Structure 1
Amino acid sequence: MLCEASHNKGKIERFFLTVRKRFLPLLTDEDLSSLEKLNHHFFSWLEKDYHRKVHSSLNMTPLDKYMSQISQVKTYDNPEKLKMLFLKRAQRKVRHDGTISVDSNLYQVPPVYIGKKVKIRFDPETYEHIYLYENGSCIAEAEPVIMVDNAHAKRGNHLSFAAMSKGGKEDV
């Protein structure tokens, strides 16, 4: 997998080298006057130049190469499902109180995971949803811990150490 990642990194770096050599010199002050104009000019260059010139290592155009492998391209009808594929991935150890920390915020997870490491996915822009994953499938969503509510939560089976120290037994 490491070799595959470094191989793909080289392809990406080569693309940006091509952009620097073939696209950037074409830019004018007018092209740089707005992001909309820059994007329009870039996508026009991509379509007319990059996708249509024979690539030296492919011996064909990138567009022809793509079309030759179109049957292997996966498509998704549901944009939400696609969005889930691009979430940031991390691992956390669930604390003894059933929480994990993400970006200095606490999230409650099912108690069955206490003391275990869990894989999580989330959008680092919003942190709105923290999903727990196991074997590549979403198994739960962590809930934000609201400190004010947590401080006032009623808990059953209170232990009274004062009563125990007086020789009394506390029902547990």
Structure 2
Amino acid sequence: MIIDDHSRLLVGGELFYSDNACNFQKVLKDAIATYGIPDKLYVNNGCSYSNEQLSMICVSLGILLLHTKVRDGASKGKVERYEASREHPRKPLSREWLDDCFYNRITRKVRKDSTIAIDSICYDVPMQFISAKVNVRYLPDDMDSAYILYENKKFPIRRTDRNDNCHTKRSNLPAIDYSRAGGATNV
């Protein structure tokens, strides 16, 4: 549950079988889409609320992320939507912009077979990124929308089909001269 501390209005809430960062981010995103961007987000210190992804989301949105004192669970889930100097909450620039702000962000080095791993699952990436470090954006519950962000362009990634991957021709890899592999030979 997320409560606006000014009006005491319940601005977000949903029931889940587990309390995790992904589920909290869904609730926060829906609250912002409906009621606007808060100035502050006040949460407890649990791993669902104290993680790098939530910090990056708040920075993207211009929200000050505050954490409660340890063992102060009664005060979690508050947002300060109105300040004394504000008449209206800030609205997201667009739904697409809001979606982009909530993508998780990680950096991965692309392997020579043009794949990366996210949570122990392999994904194919465009061959132009072989051996490069790439910035990956994804929603943990929707990996079909995952992409590499490079020079403000989105390059989609897809789950690796290992059978297809082993038959892929990769033209940008250096050719190996096998005639020199065994050293000098006398003929």
TM-score by length of 2: 0.45
* RCO comparison, higher one (Cα < 8 Å, 6+): 2
Larger fraction in helix: 1
Q: TM-score, normalised by structure 1?
A: 0.49
Flag the structure with higher strand content: 2
Structure whose CA Rg is larger: 1
